[in-house]
Amino acid sequence: MALLTTNPVSFSPRYAWWLALLLWLTSLPGYSQLDSLNGLTRKLVRYQQATLPEKLFLHLDRPLYLSGETIWFKVYAVEGTTLRPLSLSKVAYVEVLDKEKRSVLQAKIGLRDAQGQGSFAIPASMPSGSYTVRAYTSWMKNFGPEYYFRSPVTIVNTAASAGVFTRPDTARYDMQFFPEGGNLVQGLASTVGFKATDNKGRGVAVEGKVLTAQGAVVAQFKSLRFGMGNFRFTPKAGVAYTAVISLDKRPAVTYALPRVYEQGYVLHVENSSATALTVTVTSSSAQPERIALLAHSRQQVAVATQQQLVNGQAVFTIDPSRLLDGVSHLTVFNAAQQPVCERLYFQPPRHTLTITARPDKSAYAAREKVSIQLTTGTGAEALPANLSMAVYRLDSLTTALTPNINSYLWLSADLRGTVEQPAYYFSAATPEVAEATNNLMLTQGWSRFSWSQVLAAQPPRFEHLPELNGLLVRGRLSKPGSQGPAGITTYLSSPSRIVRLQNAVSGPDGSFLFELNRFYGSRNIVVQTDPRQDSTSQVEILSPFSQQYSAADAALLPRLPRLEAAYSKRHFQNQVQQAFSGRFASQYRLPPTDSVAFYGKPDERYLLDKYTRFKVLEEVMREYVPGVDVRRRKDGFHLLVKDKMNGGLLTQDPLVLLDGVPIFNMNKAMTIDPLSIQQLEVMDSRYFHGSSIYDGIVSFITYKGDLAKVSLDPRVLVQQYDGLQGQREFYAPRYDTPLARQSRLPDLRNLLYWNPAISTTAQGSSTTFYTGDQTGRYLVVVQGLANNGVAGSTTYVLDVKQPL
């Protein structure tokens, strides 16, 4: 690993990580196929041992927000193969990116039992547009931004005079071609998938022809759904092919097809029957060759088999029921165990979580109580699950849907780019849906790893460790003109009446790593080295947020004149809510804090208010603290702690702390104003802290925990650091009394209800909330996950009407 930590907990997380990984691996079906295909599957399993996949899903409360409103979300963390809840990472990083891929909102969300919740208060100055919400963990950063959760959201600034219009829409289209298996090979019949999109990444209907350089038509094609389709033809040697397409009554556009190779392999997959999936491999060489087919899903092996190429062709027949649910990779290897062809195949999940939401009434009046009974299960069997629920008003601005947990985890998360309307591929088992799914697999193929990594002699090395207990704070020591020093102990603390201290030893490149547990809110941190060991290095704290971005960006949002009335109405509603209920939006709930210092119960504790106050700290120490000797030498003050275990005095200065911050200069320590100190604690023996050994500890705690205006060394880094986000309280008024129902305060909420923590039992669960003053139709969205990895969601429309 590039970074090493020497905290007291630095070794146990690693052991816990490998133990959890071993238990997970031995439960996989592919684990029993270690020696199949001449060790090929063994290499894939070895790769699994170092790359436990992790996925996040965010349930967002709504698809559209106004500037000044709040984005609410629930985080689900799952193991990427079985999709069971995975309590590996304890921190999720959530960002909102603008169209330039700049992070405009950021949060670190604590995860407990594989779930967490958070929120973003959208600034009133946020410009209108389409933004991207993305989420990932520290461990996921090792595998690239395509692996992160991503979802578009729309933010409308109704107060801005320019509205949401950014620039005129352009008629830019893109056309891409994808030979099945990877390449076009001369003389071999090939299937070619295609996808046509507009400037917002949405599929557009197209039709066209494939032409030779002489204008001869060799194939014709037409898109089916979302601008995707496929055609089949046999390319010839030395011919450059082009496709001429027409769309939307615009002039025809010409695109070049991919290059035709002289030699190679071609792969073709088709469902020959309900119980047979035929995989045909064709080679340009007529020489006999033993080839292998490996079907794997999310790095888990499902099928491993071999065939002999006879007259340049081999046919594999697979029972689709042997494939895992979700996206499978069908990879063909030649005799030298080199991957030569690959394509994707989708198996809809055979089990989903059925969520039933039963309201107590068919329609409701304003300010009326709504009671909803929730049950979860698979088929007729009840299955407890963890759910999240949102209820928001439907209007002309809210037309999109938030991501669906089932389609995301089983489909979208394993494909490159954005999948348009992913729920469509789960809608029905019809020939049209099957063909559209096949086109999707042809055109949006993507592997989370490269086979060169799998087949390498050594397992991969990753820079980012999983955060098993809490935040990992990375930093670097540097010196002008040289690499950072190695082997230097660095200290991190946060001024507070709760004494916390971390230390870490810098690695070969000067980097260091701290682990902060239960660090909430925004606070100042102090990072420094002991000047007696290092007095010239500069300290830098690195951002934990990913600096990598996927190719897809946020689309622009034009303002439509026909929606002006809707913009004005939503603006008025938002302003009213901010005026009368805005004070409730900033209420947070923080978890209980452990007030015990990092060194535990001290050997000596003095509350100085119980003693006669002196104006000089030296007098306080000499008069009231028998466990510490104060001595003056030529270089100034020295403190020596009495060793209660062995008798006598310890030989070196103790670790002196002021509100948890180390003070290494004893002369400066003795200038602390004793009238600002409320409490003094002493550890009367050597204390082992990571790789550091202290000859005792002397800890001064001020009344306010703010260092009492003591100036720190200029080399010390003092920086505001955002810890885990506290939980913002969702506010919704209750109209459970006649007085509350008769209140003249307006209630124009667009989001009636948000609850990210609903747990169902075998008997189900119930939840209640109240409608507001706005009549209309409200969409109820419930999503959730069971402990066995079965996911599901449901929606229904709730009507709020004027009483008769």
Residues of the chain with pLDDT under 70: 1-36, 161-171, 446-449, 552-564, 580-587, 804
Residue that finishes a domain, picked among 229, 261, 293 = 261
Calpha distance 283→312 (Å, rounded): 5
Name the token pair of 380.
Answer: 């007729």
Domain assignment present for residue 221? The answer is: yes
Residue that finishes a domain, picked among 237, 261, 285 = 261
Domain assignment present for residue 362? The answer is: no
The whole-number pLDDT of residue 94 equals: 98
Integer Rg of the chain from CA: 32
CATH number, position 203: 2.60.40.10
Domain assignment present for residue 547? The answer is: no
Strands annotated E in 223-319:
228-233, 242-246, 253-256, 260-261, 265-273, 276-283, 289-297, 300-309, 313-318
Domain assignment present for residue 699? The answer is: yes
Range of the domain at 694: 604-722
The whole-number pLDDT of residue 162 equals: 42
Closest alpha carbon to 133 in 155, 112, 111:
155
Burial of 160 (0-12, 13-18, 19+ CB in 10 A): middle
The whole-number pLDDT of residue 158 equals: 81
Check: CB of residue 260 under 8 Å from CB of residue 225: no
Domain assignment present for residue 35? The answer is: no
Residue that finishes a domain, picked among 238, 261, 284 = 261
The whole-number pLDDT of residue 569 equals: 76
CA angle 354, 440, 795 (to 5 degrees): 25
The whole-number pLDDT of residue 109 equals: 97
Domain assignment present for residue 782? The answer is: no
Domain assignment present for residue 150? The answer is: no
Name the token pair of 345.
Answer: 């195949």
Q: Using alpha carbons, list the distances in angstroms from residue 163 to 101, 121, 123, 157, 166.
A: 21, 20, 16, 6, 8
The whole-number pLDDT of residue 35 equals: 55
Name residues whose C-beta falls within 8 Å of residue 625's C-beta, 6 or more positions apart in sequence.
604, 606, 680, 682
Domain assignment present for residue 107? The answer is: no
Strands annotated E in 80-189:
91-97, 103-110, 115-121, 129-136, 149-156, 174-179, 184-185
Q: Using alpha carbons, list the distances in angstroms from residue 47 to 50, 146, 459.
A: 6, 19, 6
The residue type found at 358 is R
The whole-number pLDDT of residue 804 equals: 57
Name residues whose C-beta falls within 8 Å of residue 738's C-beta, 6 or more positions apart in sequence.
none
What is the number of alpha carbons within 13 Å of residue 721 lying toward its C-beta? Answer: 26
Name residues whose C-beta falls within 8 Å of residue 216's C-beta, 6 or more positions apart in sequence.
none
If one counts the domains in the chain, the total is 2
CATH number, position 638: 2.170.130.10
Rounded to two decimals, what is the model's pTM? Answer: 0.90
Closest alpha carbon to 28 in 304, 292, 320, 324:
324
